[in-house]
Each structure stands twice: as C-alpha cells, then as structure tokens.
C-alpha cells in the first residue's frame, strides 16, 4: 500500500514533532507509514528517531521505554492484533506525552477500543483535517503531558493537503511550557475541564493552520425535528427538510453542554450514526454520550435517541437520508438503523503481499518438491479460509488433520491387504505403496496406479472405499509453514512453540530479513529469540541455518534433509533487505557480513544422526556465535568424557594451570627486560596506519632511527592503543597514509573514530601528550578542485583532532607527496630533522649502521628455495594467517593470503583478527581441462572453498575462501587431478595462455602443445612445493633436487606472463603479456612459427607517472622449434636486467624502455646465438569470444558458454555450477577456459550432441542472447577478498552494464560489441588498459575512466576522466554512445570512433600514456586543463 496524502501528512507531523516515532508495520509489506517515514528520514528534515516494529509486536513496552521523550508518536493501520496489545499499557501511557495516530480504511471498530482509556480522542474525515488534527494532537500531548488518540481515514490519492511549513512545527509545540508529569501532575477526568484544555490548544492550532477546528460541526435545517450525529467518513451535505446534521470531530471529551447545544427545542428525534461494523457491546460510544446527555438534561419534550450504523459513504444519496428519517419514525426506539450499504458478513481479507526477494527461497521449495509441495499457510488460502489462514496455529492444525487422515489411509491399506478377495495385482500395489509411502516420487506413481486398479475392480469393501475417499493423500507431500522473524519475538504467542513441540512431521521455514549492518538499530529491549537454539534444545527437532546469498548448495542440502527428517524441522533462512528495491548486491554484502562474522552461522542439526551414533551437528561456515558455541560445548564429546571419567577433567585443568604459570613467567621476564632497556632513555611512541605498507615501513624506519639516537621507542598500529592509553604517553609520532576518499587506513580507523567522538564531546584527555603527524598522500590522486581536500586528509584531520583534545603539537605536520621528485621522501626528509631537533637528539652522532629494510629480494634469497617457514605456519592453529614473509613465498606456490574486507571493520571492533582465508590459483597451461579434472575442481570448491570458483583471465581456476587448515588438503586434491598450483603466482613465469579458436582444431592443438612445452620448461625446479604440500610425493617422475638452473635463488624481479595467440582472434590480448607468440600459418594451413612480441604489461600505480601500461613490441619471427629457447632467453635477460630495487618498475616493459628495444633485442639474440627473422604479416579482427556452437576441422563440435566475469556458481534460476558438473559427468571431450573468463564445452562428437544440448538447455547454459556489451565485458574479483582492491569490480560491473545496456538499446546498439572492462585497482588483472572503455577503481564507488583502446587489443586506451562515479559515467556515455550510433563509419568500432570524434587522443606507446590524458578539445577535463 502506497502512502496516501492523509498518511503522508500525519507521518510528516509525527516525524517533525516527536523525539521518537514508533511505527507498527502492517502484515502487507511495505507499510504505508514506513514508506512515508523513510522518505522523511532520508530528507534534510531529519528529526525523530524512527523504530519500526514487526506486525503484531507489543508496542506498549517500546513506548513505555521512551516515556522520557518530550513527545512520542505511535503510527499504525488499525488492526486488532496490533491495537489490542496496547490495552494493558494504556493506564501507564495515558499520563505520557504520546499521540496514537491510527489510520482506518472504513470501519472504526478496531481503533475505538482504545478510546475508553485515553482522555482525548480526535477524529478526522479528510486528509486536511487529519493534518490539522495531527498538529493539534501533538500540541495537546506535549503541553498537557497526556496521551491523545487520533483516528483518521486513509483516504485516497485525490485529496489535497495544505501543510504547515516544517520549521514552524517545533516552535509552535515547544514554545508552550510543558505541564508537570507523573505524580506532580494533577490528572482530571472532568469533561468540562478537559474540554477547556482542548479549546485552548485548538485556538493555538487555528492561529497556526488558519483553518477552523471545532469539536462538532452542524449544518442543515435551522429549526429541525431530527438531528443526525455522524461519526464516519460520510459527509451528508444535503438540504433535507426538518433535518440537521452534526459531524463529530472530538469524540472525547464530549461534554453534555456541547452535545445539547446542537439539539434545539424543536427536535423530537436524534439519530446517532457511527461507522462501526464490528462492536462487541450492545451500545456504541457516541450513542452512549448523546443519550446520556439527553437523559440528564431532562428536556421537555425528551427527544427519542436512536442508534444506527453508517455504511459505505460513496453510495449514500439524499433519498437514502429521507428514507432513514421515515424508517426511524416507524421503528421502535431500541432498533438499530442503517444508512448506506453495509459490508457483507463474510469480509474478504486481502492476501498479504509476498516480497519479491523471498522468491529466492520459495522457488527453491517449488523446484525441489515440484508437484508435492504443500505450503500450509499459503496466502492463497485467505480467500477461502479467512485471515487466520497464514498463522502457524492454523497451518499446524491443517498439518495435524492431514497427518491423522493419512494414518487412517495407511490403516485402510493394511486392512485391504488382509482381505482375501483382493486380486494379486492390487495386493502387489498395496504392498509396494506401503514400502514407498514416504517417497515423494514413487508414492505418487504407485498411488495413481492403485486408484486406477481399485476403480477398475470396484471392490465393495469399506477399506477400499476409504482409500478412494482419501486418494489425495496417497502421494507423500512436503509440508511447509513459511513465516518471518517476527515470530521469534514471542514464540508462544506466534504459535511457533507449538510447531516445534508438536512432534509432527512438518517443516517450518523462517525468513530473517534484518540486515547485519542495522541489527543494532532495532529496539534493544525487544529481544528476538534464537529460534534455532530454542528448537535444538528440544532434542527432537531438525534445525538448519541457511543463507541463499552465501551458499546456495547448503540451502538445497538443508531443505532436502529437513524434508527427509521424520519430525518437526526448522529452517532459518537469512535474507537481509530493507525494501523490495534493495539491490541483490546489497543483500549479498549484508549476507557475507553476517555469515563471515559469525552473526548468522550456517549449520545443520540432525538428531537422527545422533540416534545412529553420528555427529548431529554440521557447521557449514567458518564462524559461530557465542550462544551457539555454548550449546555445542554442552553437547560435545569432551563433556561426555569428563562426565564419565572425572580424572580426565582434573588432568585437563592441571595441565592448563602449568601452561598458565609458564606463560606468566615469560611475560614477567620480558617486562623486566623492557624496563631495564628503557630505564634512562626518553620514551618515543610511533603509531602508524597503513594499508599498502609504505606508511608502516616509514614508521618502523623512524622508530629504528630513534633507537639509534638513544630514545626508547615503541612502534605499533594506531588501532593497538586506546585513548586512555594514549593519554599516558609523553611523545607520540603518527604516520598515516590515506585510503579511499581521504579515509584512514584499516588499522587506524578505530582510534580515529574514538578521537573524533571525544572531540565531539568537548573532552580534553590528551593535555599531557606531545605529538607530531606525518602523512603520505598523492596530490594528483584527486585532480578536480572540488576533490582536492582529500589529499592527505587523514593526516590533516588527525592533527586537528589531537590539538582539539588538548595535545601539544611540538613539530608541524609533515606531508609526503607522491608527485614530488623523490615521492613522499621529499617531504619526509624536510620533516624528520625537525623532529630530532625538537627532541634534543639532533646532535647525537649515529655510529651504528641503520638496518637495511627487508624487501622481497631478501625474503626470496633467505627462503631456501621457497620454503621459508610455511610448513611451520600451517601447523600454527592460534591464527588463521601465515607469517608476512611466508605470504610472499606462498605466491610462488599459487597461493595468496587474503581476508574478507566486507567484515574487516566488524571483526576489528570485536577484537579478533581479520577473517583470513586464502586464494588458490591452479596452473593449467592453455586452459584445457578434462571432464574428470573438472569434477575434482568442482568438488574442491565445495569441500575447501566458498562453494564457487572463478575462471581467471589467465585461463585457469581460482578458489577463494580456503581457510588455513584446508590449504594442504585442497592442494593435494588439485594434484590428485594431475594439476598443480606451482608458479601460478609469484616472480616466475605464470600460467601460459593460448587462444581458443574452436574452428581451427588442428592449429589449436599445435599451439596448445607448444604452450605446455614453454610452461614446463620455465617451471621452477625447487622441491619445496612437493615437500610442503604433497609430503614429498611427486606428481610424476623422479625426485627433484633443489637447484634453480633458470631462476637462481633470487628468481625474477617480478612476474612474467606468456601468451600464444592464433589470429584472427586476439582473445588472449597477446600484447598485454611480457612475452607473446603470434601464430603464423603457412600456405598449407600448418603452424609455421610465431611472430614474437615482448614488453607488454598492465600494472600501474595511481598518480605515479613512473608506472604505465605498455603494449608489447614485435621482435621478429621464429620457427616453432625455436620458441621455447627464445622464451627462456627473453626471461633470462629480464632476470639479469630487471629493476630489483623498485618493484613498481621491475616488469619487463620497464626493462625494455630503460635499455631501449634495439639493445634489448640484441642482447636476446646474443644469448640465442642467432637473430630473429623479419616479422611476417598476420592480422587480428577481435579479442572477444565466439559464443554458441561451432564445428572444427575435425568434425567435432564446440559450444562457448557465457559465464559473466568467470564466476562458476549456482544462483536462483542459473545453476551453472551444477550444470557444468552434470555435463562433466557425461562429456567425452574436454573443457577449454578462455582468457575472457568463459567456458568452451569442446570436442563434442556428433552422436553426443543431443545429450550435451539437453543439459545446456536444462541449466540455461545455452543462453548467449545477452547484449554485445555484456558478452564483451570482463572484471577482476576485487572486493571482498582481494587485498589490493580499492573499489568493487566483479560484483558491480554487471549492475553498471544493466544501465549502460539501456543506453545502447535506446540507440539500436544492443548487438554491437563494445569491449568494457573493470578492475578494482590499477594492477590490471582484467586487462583494462586495452579495452575500448575501462574503469579502474580508486575508492569505493569511484573509478578512473579510460577510452580509446583497440577493439582487437592492438592499442592502449588513455585516461579520459581521473575520477568518476556512476552518475557521471552514465552522463558521459549517454551522449557519446548516441553519437557513435549516428556518426560511426562502416565497420568502425567504439574505441576507434572516440579517437576520430575527438574525445580522446590515441596512445602510441606506453611511455606516452599520460600525454594528452583527460580528453581532447571541448571534451577535456577542466582540472586537467588547468
């Protein structure tokens, strides 16, 4: 229901006037009050705190907790389940400043139950009157410290409201002094006194709204014989002879004089019409007031007072009023009159609205139990069963009835089996049905056969007739009750307890929609019970906690186990959203936060397993919350053991005591040593906040230099210290970089927030602290003038806050700028001497050599050929991480340590380490995977990863979310598939990629074999991999010795990438690689050799112009047999000449530009002993994949599936992971992964085509009808796992493409390919710098925008805008795409067009990438031009 003008007006007044608004949600979502209040909360008129209560919750307790507020407002649609809860609390609430705004549709019955306990009751017929009465009610409640009931009609959209300006509401209400509360207030029940209070407030309100406000409004005949009082929506604006109408706006206090003032001496009859259709007492409230006033007045003659019901106002005519008056004269005074059509006795209750997001679970139920699903409380039942049909009690009653009837059915089957007259055929069917009665599929099939047989033989027995009567129960049904987390607030009242304790075979699915990030914003006093724990404590209930946006497979498993369990089952389903407009990406993020923090653990509890002697609890996520852990602790085997063997418990406690003593002794010794060291040295504390490591290195270097000057220095992260501890320090130096839009790095945010909070409160806790700050930033990172304040914002803010808190700045803040000649060192070198001088140690002669910083080169050479302490780190169970030096080495083993950045802040607030996990990348040259290997890869994702795996731009698999204890097992499983992870990452040759050209089967086979040779030849030879991960068991061959003939102990300066391209398709982006081989075909179609390119590379650092992308340069042509040797020699030249001092300039592209291409080529040829042949002509025409079916030269068929951004996972209606697994089970060919992150089902024989096509269609893998833009897109992983990500990529690009697609479709370009790529950082994993349009992350929601790349990867693009957000992206692309559609040449691609049209200059070489960036001419970015 949308918010009508009346509801919007009342909500606005409540929001502006109140300190707290308590809103009761309606059963149909979303509530109109919720919509209106949300709109005000998001506006600039922020005022009240809004608390939304689930439908049916007891609002009285919440209102009483906020009784100290100056003004409280309660809003609700009239409903007995909501308002009846308030009755018990009204005596207490009546003396609080509370306004109850209750909206009704027609019947006033539900709202009027509150009137007897409250001193003031206002009634509004129209939206305008509702607005004015809302103001009046707020005034009355505040000034008199009393409760006011305001009943008003929802109305319709046609009503107009003249609203009071918002800034006038508060002065109007609060200018008047509030009356005393509680015991100090002299309460009165005298109607006359209350009426005077009302009149005073009404006069003040009239002065504000400039409209009349009267308790009663009379119109009609001046000398009437009949007066009609109306309490309802009908406006009886008729001129009926002898009849006067009185419209009631004040129902309480309604004093007798006020009523009698409308009854002139000529009146003989009074009719009281009230729009009350369901009233439990004989007489209605207004009638009692009127009849009492008339009787006590002793009028002569006394008018007859009659009661009546007011019906549908829209259908009332003047003749109906005349007929009513005539009928009143002829009816006995006690009879009940009626005006207008009354609602039928059977009121049609509208079915509650089912939010669209909930289909994520209901569709799973429908798919799993197709044909036998029975949702016992389905909204569809309301039309036939009434409003109670959706309650758990009703559903449980249905279930009990059906199960009892089915028991009768089984009884009848047993009886019929004993009947000697039954035929052998029916006897067999009866026996088979009994054996399969609980099988959903077989029971239906056998049941149908049994019914047909019984009807055919027409058996006369009662048992046979009973079976036919109950035939609907022959098929086993899956019975489900679906509800929301509102049931969890009161397990007894909601009926949920009865379902759990029923012992019936029924399943309950409870949807919890509370987003993790807003879990603490709900009323903390309204405790939601943990339904899972409650049910588990019953002992005989199956319980599962699931989240479809975290693990689709786990949801399926839990639901199927619940269905199989013989007894009650409770499945908790997490679906966090605020409104139906909440995007799926937001639900995904909230789900990850909840699951990964342990707030919403994924688990299954199956008591049936315990009865079989198995472990009943299965944890499907990494973390559990404390309450669940406590429950498990009570149940675990150790507890059982200590109960049965008390000596074990004593031994455990004794051992714990010894360990504790030893730990205390060690800490005491360390404290004593630290005390001796620092006894005479002046103290200096260095605190840093760093994401990338530069600020950390600067801080540690500063601390070391302080020690060399005789200072007692300590160095730590900012977040390792609290404000209280900081106040105890004497001298503190802060070193911080920036993250995002001037924010603090992750390990400095907690202290920064605490400092900000203290500054807001005006505290001065740091008056004894002396400080200085050094910041590291990039003045060019935010080039637009309006963004310039982000430069070093963290350091500047920190300096200001420390000073505000009373700390003394003893050295001015130092700022290091990446744009200076020496980068941040320029500013640092000027700042550090000031520091030593201020501390009085500038004259100290430093004789000891400063320790050399530890770099990757040191780590490699000291690693004993990539061993380090990895093996020891894997055994350390006290942390989920490895040592920092080992994380550099594990890259060579194909492993990256990561943590979930979605929940990093949350875990830091909890005081626990980040949620560490590992990414594993497989080495799979050419991206060719056999079906049996695919099945193992799929299994690894489920058993060790996060249930999904990703196809990377280097044609291999990548797993995320592998925790440390699963690392070794996962890698062993990969090796079991005859694959490995060695050299998939690190400063070595990475996975060699090959073009996938299905139509050129023979050429692809030759190129693939060549790629394997290159990969094997350049593979590191260390045995550390097999020693650490495979327990010295080799995959194949003899034992390897620790020697690196190619790499040496230092390995390469940086990574080295090789690609093999097969023209005309440059799908591997060969020019983006350090080394590229471009296939050249002779006149016979055979592979003659390769054109060799070198020096390609994508990585860049924002703002650092010493870094740039580069497209590879052609060195010449070589034969196939020369290729491996050339690959080796080019890599060795890089090994010996690459920049090992600066990793940002260590790639081959910088080596070539530093040496010069000719010099580099000559050095390669010198090592080869021969020269390259001249380049041979080849041509490319694209770098995207060909989707759909193709047939190769050998007659085999190949299908290219579109897998958006390479993520293999199951989603609702897109079960790609399951589909590919099912294909792998029957496929006899191979899978090929493409460098654009898609999958080719390759080498399908003609006779196998029907099977493969059926599976592709079944799992929607054959859908390649997406737009050309989407088919040409690509994105890296980025958040939440990549530690380098600055912005979203994989999760956001599909959303952006949805919006850009609409622009393309508007201009007739749906099927035109535009290569668009996105990365979360400038390292370029998705090869963005060769795309026609690219977006490179700079901060959350902010990207650099690049244009002008070559369609087939032959030309780099260039920065068009250095900083754009989504609205700016769409504003730029809309006119650009429209112009492209209208002005492009025949066959011209978008990247070429934007150059020809003057948007951007072409990039001719990597060194010139920054030249003329920012657009051309009229399209040039203003900040760049300036």
The 8-class DSSP code of residue 1182 comes to: B
Which one, of 1370, 1397, 1398, lies nearest residue 1382 by Cα? 1397
The two structure tokens encoding residue 409: 């059915």
985, 1201, 1304, 1321: which one is catalytic? 1321
* CA pair distance 57, 482, nearest whole angstrom: 18
Beta strand pairing status for 916-921 and 1214-1215?
A: unpaired
Given the structure tokens 């209605």, which residue do they identify?
Answer: 284
Query: Is 1201 considered catalytic here?
Result: no
DSSP string for 1082-1108: -TTS-EEEEEEEE--B----TT-TT--
* CA pair distance 844, 1123, nearest whole angstrom: 60
- Other beta carbons within 10 Å of 1007: 24
Alpha helices for 999-1039 (secondary structure H): 1001-1017, 1024-1029
Query: Is 1055 considered catalytic here?
Result: yes
Which one, of 454, 450, 457, lies nearest residue 474 by Cα? 450
1055, 1135, 1232, 1270: which one is catalytic? 1055
Given the structure tokens 């590992």, which residue do they identify?
Answer: 918
Q: 843, exposed or middle or buried, with CB in 10 Å at 0-12, 13-18, 19+?
A: exposed
921, 1217, 1232, 1355: which one is catalytic? 921
Backbone angles phi, psi at 1232, to 5 degrees: -120, 130
The two structure tokens encoding residue 978: 């005859």
| Sign of CA pseudo-dihedral 924, 929, 933, 939 | positive
Query: Is 1140 considered catalytic here?
Result: no
- Which residues have CB under 8 Å from 117's CB, separation 6+? 87, 90, 91, 94
700, 950, 990, 1147: which one is catalytic? 990
* CA pair distance 1264, 1261, nearest whole angstrom: 8
Peptide bond into 1280 cis (omega under 30): yes
Backbone angles phi, psi at 1195, to 5 degrees: 85, -5
The two structure tokens encoding residue 700: 């540690």
The two structure tokens encoding residue 287: 């009638």
Collapse the DSSP code of 743 into the 3-class scheme (helix H, G, I; strand E, B; otherwise coil) and give the result: strand
Count of CA atoms in the C-beta half-sphere (13 A) of 351: 12
929, 985, 1118, 1276: which one is catalytic? 1276
The 8-class DSSP code of residue 903 comes to: G
Query: Is 1118 considered catalytic here?
Result: no
- Which residues have CB under 8 Å from 882's CB, separation 6+? 870, 873, 874, 890, 897, 964
Count of CA atoms in the C-beta half-sphere (13 A) of 1273: 25
How does 124-154 read in b/e, with b if 16+ C-beta sit within 10 Å? bbbbbbbbbbbbbbbbbbbbbbbbbbbbbbb
- Which residues have CB under 8 Å from 1216's CB, separation 6+? 1201, 1203, 1208, 1209, 1210, 1259, 1260, 1261
CA geometry: angle 372, 377, 380, nearest 5 deg: 85
- Which residues have CB under 8 Å from 1162's CB, separation 6+? none
In Å, how far are 229, 780, 1411 from 1415, measured between CA atoms? Answer: 75, 17, 10
Query: Is 1282 considered catalytic here?
Result: yes
Beta strand pairing status for 603-605 and 617-619?
A: antiparallel
- Other beta carbons within 10 Å of 722: 12
Collapse the DSSP code of 1205 into the 3-class scheme (helix H, G, I; strand E, B; otherwise coil) and give the result: helix
Query: Is 985 considered catalytic here?
Result: no
929, 1118, 1304, 1325: which one is catalytic? 1325
Crossing angle for the helix pair 191-209 and 127-144, to the nearest 10 degrees: 120
The two structure tokens encoding residue 769: 């602290």
1057, 1196, 1217, 1355: which one is catalytic? 1057
477, 1282, 1291, 1361: which one is catalytic? 1282
Catalytic residues: 921, 990, 1055, 1057, 1276, 1282, 1321, 1325
């Amino acid at each position: 229901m949308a918010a009508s003008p009346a509801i919007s007006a009342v909500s606005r007044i409540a929001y502006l006037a109140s300190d707290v608004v308590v809103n009761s949600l309606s059963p149909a979502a979303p509530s109109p009050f919720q919509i209106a209040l949300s709109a005000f909360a998001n506006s600039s008129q922020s005022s009240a705190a809004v608390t939304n209560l689930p439908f049916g919750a007891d609002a009285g307790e919440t209102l009483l907790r906020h009784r100290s507020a100056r003004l409280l407002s309660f809003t609700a649609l009239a409903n007995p389940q909501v308002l009846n809860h308030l009755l018990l609390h009204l005596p207490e609430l009546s003396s609080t400043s509370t306004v109850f705004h209750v909206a009704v549709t027609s019947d006033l019955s539900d709202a009027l139950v509150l009137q007897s306990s409250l001193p003031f009751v206002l009634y509004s017929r129209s939206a305008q009157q509702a607005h004015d009465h809302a103001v009046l009610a707020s005034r009355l409640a505040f000034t008199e410290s009393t409760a006011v009931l305001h009943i008003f009609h929802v109305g319709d959209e046609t009503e107009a409201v003249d609203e009071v300006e918002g800034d006038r509401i508060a002065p109007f209400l609060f200018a008047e002094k509030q009356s005393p509360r509680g015991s100090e207030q002299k309460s009165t029940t005298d109607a006359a006194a209350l009426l005077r209070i009302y009149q005073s407030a009404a006069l003040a309100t009239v002065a504000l709204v400039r409209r009349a406000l009267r308790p009663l409004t009379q119109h009609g005949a001046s000398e009437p014989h009949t007066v009609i009082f109306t309490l309802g929506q009908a406006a009886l604006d008729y001129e009926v002879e002898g009849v006067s109408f009185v419209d009631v706006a004040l129902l309480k206090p309604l004093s007798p004089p006020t009523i009698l003032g409308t009854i002139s001496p000529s009146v003989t009859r009074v009719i009281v019409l009230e729009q009350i259709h369901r009233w439990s007492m004989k007489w209605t409230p207004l009638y009692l007031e009127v009849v009492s006033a008339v009787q006590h007045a002793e009028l002569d003659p006394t008018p007859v007072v009659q009661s009546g019901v007011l019906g549908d106002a829209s259908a009332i005519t003047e003749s109906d009023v005349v007929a009513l008056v005539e009928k009143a004269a002829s009816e006995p005074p006690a009879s009940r009159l009626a005006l207008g059509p009354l609602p039928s006795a059977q009121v049609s209750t509208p079915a509650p609205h089912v939010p669209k997001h909930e289909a994520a679970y209901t569709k799973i139920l429908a798919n799993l139990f197709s044909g036998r699903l029975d949702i016992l409380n389905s909204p569809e039942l309301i039309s036939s069963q009434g409003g109670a049909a959706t309650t758990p009690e009703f559903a449980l009653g249905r279930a009990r009835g059906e199960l009892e009837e089915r028991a009768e059915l089984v009884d009848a089957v047993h009886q019929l089996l004993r009947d000697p007259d039954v035929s052998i055929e029916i006897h067999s069917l009866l026996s088979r049905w009994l054996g399969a009665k609980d099988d959903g599929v077989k029971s239906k099939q056998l049941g149908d056969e049994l019914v047909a047989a019984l009807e055919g033989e027409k058996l006369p027995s009662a048992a046979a007739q009973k079976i036919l009567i109950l035939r609907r129960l022959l098929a086993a049904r899956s019975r489900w009750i679906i509800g929301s987390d509102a049931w969890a607030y009161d397990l007894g009242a909601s009926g949920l307890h009865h379902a759990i304790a029923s012992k019936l075979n029924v399943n309950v699915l409870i949807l919890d929609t509370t987003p993790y990030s807003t879990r603490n914003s709900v009323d903390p006093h309204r405790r939601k019970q943990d339904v899972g724990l409650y049910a588990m404590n019953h002992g005989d209930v199956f319980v599962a906690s699931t989240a479809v946006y975290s693990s689709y497979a786990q949801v399926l498993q839990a639901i199927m186990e619940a269905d199989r369990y013989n007894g009650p089952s409770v499945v908790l389903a997490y679906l966090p959203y605020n409104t139906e407009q909440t995007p799926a990406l937001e639900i995904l993020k909230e789900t990850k936060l909840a699951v990964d923090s342990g707030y919403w653990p994924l688990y299954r509890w199956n008591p049936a397993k315990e009865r079989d002697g198995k472990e009943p609890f299965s944890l499907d996520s990494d973390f559990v919350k404390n309450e669940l852990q406590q429950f498990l602790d009570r149940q675990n085997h150790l507890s059982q053991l200590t109960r049965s063997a008390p000596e074990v418990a004593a031994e455990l406690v004794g051992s714990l005591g010894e360990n504790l003593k030893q730990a205390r002794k060690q800490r005491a010794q360390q404290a004593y040593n630290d005390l001796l060291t620092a006894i005479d040295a002046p103290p200096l504390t260095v605190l840093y906040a760093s994401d990338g490591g530069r600020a950390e290195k600067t801080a540690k270097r500063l601390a070391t230099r302080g020690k060399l000057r005789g200072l007692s220095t300590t160095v730590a992260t900012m977040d390792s210290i609290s404000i209280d501890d900081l106040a105890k320090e004497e001298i503190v130096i802060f070193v911080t970089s920036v993250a995002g839009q001037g924010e603090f790095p992750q390990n400095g945010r907690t202290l920064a927030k605490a400092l900000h909070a203290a500054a807001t409160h005006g505290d001065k806790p740091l008056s004894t602290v002396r400080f200085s700050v050094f910041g590291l930033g990039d003045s060019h990172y935010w080039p637009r003038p309006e963004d310039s304040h982000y430069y070093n914002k963290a350091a500047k803010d920190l300096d200001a806050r420390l000073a505000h808190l009373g700390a003394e700045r003893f050295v001015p803040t130092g700022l290091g700028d990446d744009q200076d000649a020496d980068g941040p060192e320029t500013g640092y070198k000027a700042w550090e001497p000031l520091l030593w001088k201020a501390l009085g140690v500038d004259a100290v002669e430093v004789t000891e050599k400063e320790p050399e910083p530890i770099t990757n080169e040191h780590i490699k050479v000291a690693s004993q050929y990539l061993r380090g302490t990895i093996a020891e780190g894997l055994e350390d169970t006290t942390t989920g991480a490895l040592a920092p030096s080992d994380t550099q080495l594990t890259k060579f083993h194909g492993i990256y340590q990561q943590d979930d950045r979605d929940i990093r802040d949350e875990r830091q607030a909890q005081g626990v380490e980040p949620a560490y996990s590992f990414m594993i990348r497989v080495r799979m040259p050419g991206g060719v995977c056999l079906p049996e290997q695919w099945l193992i890869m799929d299994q690894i994702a489920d058993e060790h990863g996060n249930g999904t795996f990703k196809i990377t731009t280097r044609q291999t698999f990548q797993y995320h979310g592998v925790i440390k204890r699963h690392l070794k097992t996962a890698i062993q499983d990969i090796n079991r598939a005859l694959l490995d992870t060695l050299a998939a990452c690190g400063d070595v040759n990475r996975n060699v990629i090959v073009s996938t050209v299905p139509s050129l089967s023979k050429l692809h086979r030759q190129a693939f074999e060549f790629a394997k040779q290159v990969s094997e030849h350049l593979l590191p030879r260390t045995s550390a991999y097999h020693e650490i991960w495979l327990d010295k068991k080799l995959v194949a061959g003899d034992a390897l010795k620790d020697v690196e003939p190619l790499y040496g102990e230092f390995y390469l300066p940086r990574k080295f990438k090789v690609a093999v391209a097969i023209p005309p398709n440059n799908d591997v982006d060969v020019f983006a690689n350090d080394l590229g081989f471009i296939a050249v075909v002779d006149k016979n179609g055979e592979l003659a050799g390769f054109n060799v390119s070198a020096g390609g590379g994508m990585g860049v650092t924002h703002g650092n112009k010493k870094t740039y992308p580069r497209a590879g340069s052609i060195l010449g042509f070589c034969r196939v047999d020369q290729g491996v040797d050339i690959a080796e020699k080019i890599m060795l030249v890089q090994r010996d000449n690459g920049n090992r001092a600066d990793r940002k300039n260590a790639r081959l592209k910088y080596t070539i530009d530093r040496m010069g291409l000719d010099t580099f080529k000559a050095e390669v040829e010198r090592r080869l002993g021969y020269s390259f042949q001249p380049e041979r002509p080849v041509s490319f025409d694209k770098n995207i994949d060909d989707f759909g079916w193709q047939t190769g030269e050998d007659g085999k068929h190949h299908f290219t599936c579109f897998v958006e951004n390479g993520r293999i996972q199951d989603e609702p209606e897109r079960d790609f992971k399951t589909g590919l697994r099912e294909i792998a089970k029957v496929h006899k060919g191979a899978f090929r992964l493409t460098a654009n992150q898609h999958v080719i089902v390759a080498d399908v024989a003609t006779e196998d085509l029907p099977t493969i096509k059926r599976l592709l269609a079944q799992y929607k893998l054959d859908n390649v009808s997406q737009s050309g833009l989407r088919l040409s897109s690509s994105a890296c992983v980025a958040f939440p796992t990549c530690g380098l990500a600055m912005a979203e990529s994989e999760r956001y690009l599909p959303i952006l493409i949805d919006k850009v697609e609409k622009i393309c479709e508007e201009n007739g370009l749906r099927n035109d390919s535009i290569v668009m790529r996105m990365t979360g950082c400038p390292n370029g994993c998705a090869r963005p710098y060769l795309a026609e349009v690219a977006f490179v992350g700079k901060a959350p929601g902010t990207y650099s925008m690049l244009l002008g790349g070559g369609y087939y990867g032959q030309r780099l693009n260039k920065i068009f805008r250095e900083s754009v957000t989504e609205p700016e992206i769409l504003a730029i692309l809309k006119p650009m795409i429209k112009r492209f559609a209208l002005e492009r040449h025949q066959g011209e691609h978008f990247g070429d067009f934007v150059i020809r049209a003057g948007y951007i200059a072409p990039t001719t070489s990597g060194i010139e990438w920054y030249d003329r960036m920012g657009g051309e001419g009229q399209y040039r970015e203003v900040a760049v031009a300036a």
